Amino acid sequence: MSLWVDGRSGGLASNRDIWFGFSMSEDTIDPLELWRGVANGLHGKGWGDRNVIFAEHIPSGSSVLDVGCGNCNLRNALPDGCTYRGIDQVDVHDPVVVDFNAGVVPDLPRHDFVVLSGVLEYLHDPIAALDIAKGWGDVVLFSYQPTESRTAGQLAVPMEDRVWKSTLNRADFEAGAASTFAHVEQIGRFRTQTIYRAKD
């Protein structure tokens, strides 16, 4: 599988290092192996900075569900008194797994906040994921990198080989989010991603 060719094409040989902080043969990596590595803290330079932005919008004492939690670095940024649960498509931090692309959607108790930090780009249908996340909490915080900020080379990679599965540009993503929630607002930026807060 040449999953990571999209990180190389378009002349962004170092893209993978920016996003994942490591180098390896794109021809051998299995996606779940990659995400297991992320969950174990091996990759993901700088993602903690993104989670600091999310945490600034979560009051102390809140219950927080971090979906696609990676290595759970959001937990370290939360204010005092928050309860935290992180789930992912790998079971490193919680036995309950979620895989939006495969329709693996667990029943979960509601939380005050649901966070999707750097996850929606990887999904075939990020708007469907937002609708599911709405069922898990009162406020949903999420980031999204629209297709406009991807290189022509990245977009030329066949879908089955792409790591970023979403094909939504900013306008279509924001229209989808607006149709899912009564209120959606932009609350920050991280690199080429916008960070949103949404609730009904």
Provide the binding-site residues for ligand SAM, judged by CB under 6 A: 35, 38, 44, 47, 50-51, 68-70, 73, 88-90, 98-101, 117-119, 122-123
Q: What sign has the CA pseudo-torsion 19, 47, 200, 88?
A: positive
Beta carbon nearer to ligand SAM, 45 or 110: 45
Beta carbon nearer to ligand SAM, 70 or 137: 70
* Minimum separation from the CB atom of position 10 to ligand SAM (A): 19
Beta carbon nearer to ligand SAM, 171 or 196: 196
Beta carbon nearer to ligand SAM, 136 or 183: 136
* Minimum separation from the CB atom of position 98 to ligand SAM (A): 5
Half-sphere exposure of 81 (CA within 13 A, CB side): 6
Beta carbon nearer to ligand SAM, 35 or 171: 35
Q: Is residue 143 within 8 Å of 121, Cβ to Cβ?
A: no
Q: Is residue 98 within 8 Å of 92, Cβ to Cβ?
A: no
Q: Is residue 27 within 8 Å of 39, Cβ to Cβ?
A: no
In the complex, residue closest to ligand SAM by CB: 70
R_g of the chain, CA atoms, integer Å? 16
* Minimum separation from the CB atom of position 101 to ligand SAM (A): 4
- Compute the C-alpha angle 76/40/88, nearest 5°: 80
* Minimum separation from the CB atom of position 77 to ligand SAM (A): 10
* Minimum separation from the CB atom of position 3 to ligand SAM (A): 12
Beta carbon nearer to ligand SAM, 20 or 181: 20
Spatial CB neighbours of 112, under 8 Å, sequence gap ≥ 6: 58, 62, 63, 64, 137, 138, 139
* Minimum separation from the CB atom of position 67 to ligand SAM (A): 7
Q: What is the residue type of 162?
A: R
User: How far apart, in whole angstroms, are the C-alpha atoms of residue 22 and residue 122?
Assistant: 19
